[in-house]
Amino acid sequence: MVKEKTREKPHDMDNRIQILKDWLSQIQRSKEGKKGRIISICNQKGGVGKTVTAINLSAFLAAYRQRTLLMDLDPQGHCGLGLGIDVDNLDKSIYDTFLNGTGNLTDTILSIKPNLDILPANIDLAGLETELVNDSHRATKLVDKLQSIRHLYEYIIIDCPPSIGLLTINALVASRMVIIPIQSSFFSLHGFERILETIGTLMETLSLDIKVYLLFTFFEGRLRESWIVREKVKSTFGKHLLNTIIRKTTRLNEATRRGISILEYEPRSMGCYDYHQLAREVMEIE
């Protein structure tokens, strides 16, 4: 017997529409997730390769046609200097239009080359912490401001200052991923636990979901110490350690001094190879 085709009841139709709506919003969410991925480069120690990593990771992401914004949260302004910007004579810096809340964020963004923009900082940013001391929203200033520009970029890379103060906390609150550069020496192991603790506490108190990764920088393969330190970190942190290793090379230093990325300065150098690897690994994770 042929079964008579039953007409769909109105509530079945409602259900199906609801399922379709949920499905569409899921797709929408996953598309949004691909936009504006915010990655902070953090370590309270200076001289570990944060800025060089922020600059060169951004340059390679841009070369992969990922629209990238490099954001400098360090009052020393090294990101801008490392990309040839006269940070002492900026019309506007991240301080004026971004954290101070006046004006439009896009007025402060400078275009460096195709797919690569920068939000430069300078010494003005140093006063921010004291100015915001009575602001109850001081830890979320950055994340709030970023909402209006996030959709314009695939990646936003934040270069943090060498301290765990308000600026670093703002960066962490905004980030989905944090890369902690560490040098491959015994001394460097001491201290980076502090930033891990801070991230852990922030994640717990603010219910944040941050992926944390460690990156070896200044790696000297000929030294036994480097490999011992790497093994120790690998056995402790496992998959949180990035496979990419940034080797020590004067070429990276020279590129920064010239105000260009390693990709432009010396495309066949090992520094270029290493940061290329890093960009590829980051794109695979995120």
Residues that bind ligand ADP (CB under 6 A): 46-52, 78, 162, 217-218, 246, 248-249, 252-253, 256
Q: How far is the CB of 23 from ligand ADP (least distance, A)?
A: 44
Residue 252 touches which of Mg ion, ligand ADP, none (Cβ within 5-8 Å per kind): ligand ADP
CB of 64 to ligand ADP, least distance (A): 21
Q: Read off the tokens for 41.
A: 């480069």
Select 205 or 250, whichever has its Cβ closest to ligand ADP: 250
Scanning 5-13, 49-57, 174-182, 230-238 for contacts with Mg ion by CB under 5 A, the matching segment is 49-57
Q: Which of 40, 43, 44, 51 binds Mg ion (CB under 5 A)?
A: 51
- Residue (174 or 215) nearer to ligand ADP, CB: 215
Interface residue with Mg ion, options 41, 42, 53, 78 (CB under 5 A): 78
The token pair at 215 is 């990156």
Which of 37, 78 has the CB closer to Mg ion? 78
Work out what residue 52 binds among Mg ion, ligand ADP, none; the CB cut-off runs from 5 to 8 Å by kind.
ligand ADP
Nearer to ligand ADP, 72 or 124 (CB): 72
Contact between 50 and Mg ion per CB under 5 A: yes
Are the C-beta atoms of residues 252 and 239 closer than 8 Å to each other? no
User: Which one of Mg ion, ligand ADP, none interacts with residue 49, CB within 5 to 8 A by kind?
Assistant: ligand ADP
- Among Mg ion, ligand ADP, none, the one that 256 touches (CB under a kind-dependent 5 to 8 A) is ligand ADP
Closer residue to Mg ion (CB): 54 or 241: 54
- DSSP secondary structure letters along the chain: -PPPPPPPPHHHHHHHHHHHHHHHHHHHHHHHHTS-EEEEE--SSSSSSHHHHHHHHHHHHHHTT--EEEEE--TT-HHHHHTT--GGG-SS-HIIIIIS--S-HHHH-EEEETTEEEE---GGGGGHHHHTTT-TTGGGHHHHHHTTTGGG-SEEEEEPPSS-SHHHHHHHHH-SEEEEEEESSHHHHHHHHHHHHHHHHHHHHHT---EEEEEEEEE-TT-HHHHHHHHHHHHHHGGGEEEEEEE--HHHHHHHHHTS-HHHH-TTSHHHHHHHHHHHHHHHH-
Selection from Mg ion, ligand ADP, none that 184 binds (CB < 5 to 8 A by kind) is none
CB of 50 to ligand ADP, least distance (A): 3
Query: In whole angstroms, what is the distance from residue 253 CA to residue 250 CA?
Result: 5
Q: How far is the CB of 156 from ligand ADP (least distance, A)?
A: 18
Which entry of Mg ion, ligand ADP, none binds 62, CB below 5 to 8 A by partner kind? Answer: none
Residue 4 Rama label (left phi>0; alpha psi -120 to 50; beta): beta
Q: Which is nearer to ligand ADP, 115 or 244 (CB)?
A: 244
Where on the chain is the footprint of Mg ion (CB under 5 A)? Answer: 50-51, 78
